[in-house]
Amino acid sequence: MTVLKIVLIVLGAIFLSLALLRVIRKLHRSPAPTFIGRFLDSDFRRWFQPPDKMIERSGIKPGMTIMELGCGSGAFTTFIAKVVGEWGKVYAVDIQPTMLQQLERKLSRPENQDITNIELRQAGAYDLPFADESLDLVCMVNVLPEIPDRGRALREIGRVLKPGGILAVTEFFPDPDYPLRSTTIKICQREGFIFDDNLGNLWNYTVRLKKSPSGVMVKKIDDEFK
């Protein structure tokens, strides 16, 4: 058997596995399992998804009050906290307590002792523990497709965002839940978010949307969903 045939067989097995995993994930949407928390918060993962690019594309700036929804074990949390600075605030929110425990251990390390603007909250996307119109920006990295009722989650995000506040959704292939950016934009616009920008490439993109400056979220109904 030639080297080329071996490579083709390996690639075929990988793509077949990804396709099967995508089918399973579509049938059963759920958060990433906690046992892969170490991989999610790894330099290897950040090599593919550089935090500085995600932060820049999301529009994260010093002094902002931010919710990182679905923070997991904290692959990007400390990077966000350093950018918003001492006048900013980062709420790291996840539905899984074991993920938050991993993040808590990470924050207790000596190299993170000077980071004091992160607050951990256990909560689901349907019932966020924040007052109406209290956040400047909500970011989600490889999270939105994992939520069974994305419309309900987006409406709740709209509630806690300030008028004109930013929703930044980042997706990465080959995540088994990866959606095309057009799909992400359509889902968010359907719940009243206004398109702002679309950054990155096919494999690693960030879609940035805004809540209306008036604070009113106008739900859009596409013809195919009437």
pLDDT tens-digit profile of 180-197?
A: 999 999 999 999 999 999
Residue type, 63: G
Residue 194 parent element (H or E): strand 194-200
Cα separation, 13 vs 105, in Å, equals 37
Record the tokens describing residue 195, joined without a space. Answer: 């398109």
Q: In this predicted model, which residue has the larger pLDDT, 189 or 12? A: 189
Cα separation, 138 vs 149, in Å, equals 17
pLDDT for the residue numbered 221: 66
Q: DSSP for 82-137?
A: HHH-TT-EEEEEES-HHHHHHHHHHHTSGGGTT---EEEEE--TTS-SS-TT-EEE
Instruction: Please give the average per-residue pLDDT across 7-15, as a whole number.
Output: 40
pLDDT tens-digit profile of 34-86?
A: 667 666 777 887 888 999 999 999 999 999 999 999 999 999 999 999 999 99
Cα separation, 48 vs 121, in Å, equals 27
